[in-house]
Structures are given as structure tokens and as C-alpha cells.
Amino acid sequence: MDAGGLIAVAVLLVWFVILCLFCFCKASKRETNGLLEMNFVHIENILKNMEREKPIRFTGELLRVATDNYSTSLGSGGFGEVYKGNLSDGTTVAVKVLRANSDKRIKEQFMAEVGTIGKVHHFNLVKLYGFCFEKDLIALVYEYMRNGSLDKYLFHENKTLGYEKLHEIAVGTARGIAYLHEDCEQRIVHYDIKPGNILLDKNFNPKVADFGLAKLCNRDNTHITMTGGRGTPGYAAPELWMPFPVTHKCDVYSFGMLLFEIIGRRRNLDINLPQSEEWFPVWAWKRFEAGELEVLMNACKIEERHKKMAERMVKVALFCVQYRPETRPIMSDVVKMLEGSVEISKPFNPFQHMIEGTFRGNSSVHASGTDVNTSITTTSSFMVTEPVVYDIPDIQLAST
């Protein structure tokens, strides 16, 4: 091959190498751009998820459109009304419209809900998507709970939930309260645990709702300063109505009263029953103390196969409603007891203070959790009125 041929071959080789390098660089650039694009989308998703973690501030106009001018009411109560709505992304929500006036309690409820449930996230707590705070509209936007509140499955004729599902609801509710008390940066005391404030999603998973009376408190504080009565009569702990120190154990008491109603599938107070059965918690204690669990099971229509579950629930309820707060278990221990992962000792009579209408305490008590082998001696005496459950209307955040 002559010199001209060699030069031509060399030039072709150079161009081939250049072409290969060009193709390689272009492919690498495409891959890099693809990775960058993927990272960008990933970051965008993370940012969107972070935004969803915070309550969104909605405008009044947006909520008017979302609720179709407030056309579908889900329920009403003393503080306002709740409407079904759909956000632009297709999310179904419950819009709780508080009465926009100068009532101090309205603003207190609004701040309590945004300041508590707006900061925490748990499977067994109702999710707060956002709020609206305008001159003519104060509203809270929650996740929509298709199956409504627990009370309609306990007290109405359509008692379709079996005891296994009711037990699951009790455990889930206890987990939600335990999270508020023990896992949040600041302890949250709910103050109003009752069936009407336990909402059920499409799969009947329970979510603790209605934080209008809730309060944040530092873990270092052993007691909570009260500025007024809280809770619902019949569920509220004695210390909320008596001159006793108040702690997060008031929620434990309320859960115990709720658990009794789950066991009996009836209101704790029923004046249509014989006098000895009017107040279910005392009647249940007497049956338990006498070793007559079968009598209780028959009255509550609990099947024999659920006997161990029923006994466990009765014991837990009796521990939770102990008169003195320090003798009640913490909620994480309540979860363990309900799940059957720990043994439950025989509870003491929580209704001794009701004997002959007076309280004369001089007893030694034992409870699981952080309050173990606590001795109590007191000479205080005061009248205790007959326990009454008032049917106070509350806002429902879901419909049937």
C-alpha cells in the first residue's frame, strides 16, 4: 500500500474513534439526564410528601367548591356542622365548619385541634389535612371516615360488629391513645374519649378523633393545670370533677368506660333495665367478683369461644377505671393486656368509694405499668352522686 492509502486508512480510523467517543458521550449524557430526571421526580415526591405532613391552609372559596356549596351534611353538634367534600386531587374529606363568631370556646377548640392533631401522625388517629381561618369561616378539614362513629354500632339496633372486630377496635383505640401519651414529643391528653369520638374507616379501623378539648403538656410535669371542666359526664374521670390533681390517667379512665360499653354493646347507664343492672360497670364488677363470667357473657350475648377475650377485656376495663389515677395502668400496658401478651392479675374493686354514697379510702392497691405497688391512705370523705351519662350531641365526622 502506498503512502496515500496509509494516510486514508489512518484518517478513517481517527474518524471512527471520534464517532465512537461521540456516541459514548451522548449515551452517557442521556443516562445522566435520565438519572437527574429520576432524582428530580423523587425529590419532588419527597417534598410533596413533606407538604402533606403539615396542615394545609385552605381558602373559604376552595372549601365551598370542595363541598359543592356545603350540600352534603354528615352531622352537627354544639360547635357547628360537618360536610362531605372532595378535593381537586380526588381525596374525600370531612369539613368541620365551626360557627364563626366571637365565642371564645370556638377559637379554643380550633387552636386545640390544629395545635395537637395537626402535629402528630398515627394510624389510629384521624388525619387533619388542613384548616381555614377567615373572618367569615373557621373550618377544619379531616380525612373522611366512611363507617362513622363507634357509638352507632354499640347502641343502635344494627349491631353488626362481632366481638373479634370489637376487640380489634378496642386495641386500635388503645394504641392511638398510647401514642398520644407516650410517643409524642409533648404528651397530649385528649380529655374526651368516648364512642362518639372513635371513628371507623372503610375497613372498620378505629381512629381517635375530636381533639377540641385536648391539651399539650411537658413530660416533666406530673400534673396538669386545669382552667375549667373537661370531658363528658359518664366517661370523665373523677379527678376532673373533684379537687384532685389531673394527669394523663384521666384518658385511661375514659377508655375503661368506653371498654365497658364495647363489652356490653350498651350504654353504661340504661334506666330501662332492672335497677341492679342500670349501671353496667358496677354490675360487671359484681359478676366478675362472684365468678359469674358466664352470666355476664349471656347477658352481653358473647359466644363461649370468646370467653378468654371477654375475661381479659373485663379485667382491663376494671383496672382502667380505678378511682385513684396512680392505680390505673399506662396505655401501652393496656395494649399489651388486651393483646394477651402479658398476664393480668385480679383487679381491685374500683367502686369502693360508692359504698353508701361516701368515699373512705384506706387500702393498698397494685397496678401494672409505671405505677407499681402504690399504697394509698386517705381520710377524705365526700358525697358521690349517682353516675349519670348525659347524651351530649357531638359532631360526627363521617356518615353511614
Query: Per the annotation, where are the binding residues?
Result: 96
Neighbouring C-beta atoms of residue 331, cutoff 10 Å? 25
Neighbouring C-beta atoms of residue 69, cutoff 10 Å? 8
User: Which residue among 151, 192, 251, 333 is the active-site one?
Assistant: 192
Strand partners, 54: none
Report the relative pairing of strands 128-134 and 137-143 from DSSP bridges: antiparallel
Four-point Cα dihedral 141, 58, 105, 191, nearest 10? 40
Four-point Cα dihedral 357, 363, 366, 367, nearest 10? 30
- The angle, 0 to 180 degrees and rounded to 10, between the axes of the packed helices 249-264 and 307-320 is 150
Residues forming the annotated binding site for ATP? 96
The three three-digit cell numbers of residue 350, written as one number: 374500683
The three three-digit cell numbers of residue 383, written as one number: 358525697
The size of the chain, in residues, is 400
The three three-digit cell numbers of residue 147, written as one number: 363507617
Q: Which residue has the cell 397494685?
A: 366
Q: Write the CB contacts of 139 (distance below 8 Å, at least 6 apart in sequence).
A: 58, 60, 63, 95, 96, 97, 98, 131, 132
Q: Rounded CA gap, 258 and 196, in Å?
A: 10
Q: Rounded CA gap, 253 and 285, in Å?
A: 15
192 is catalytic: yes
Task: Label residues 55-65 b or e (16+ Cβ within 10 Å = b).
Answer: beebebebbee
Q: With H, G, I as helix, E, B as strand and everything else as coil, classify residue 119.
A: coil
Q: Rounded CA gap, 349 and 287, in Å?
A: 12
Q: Rounded CA gap, 157 and 161, in Å?
A: 11
- Which residues are known to be catalytic? 192
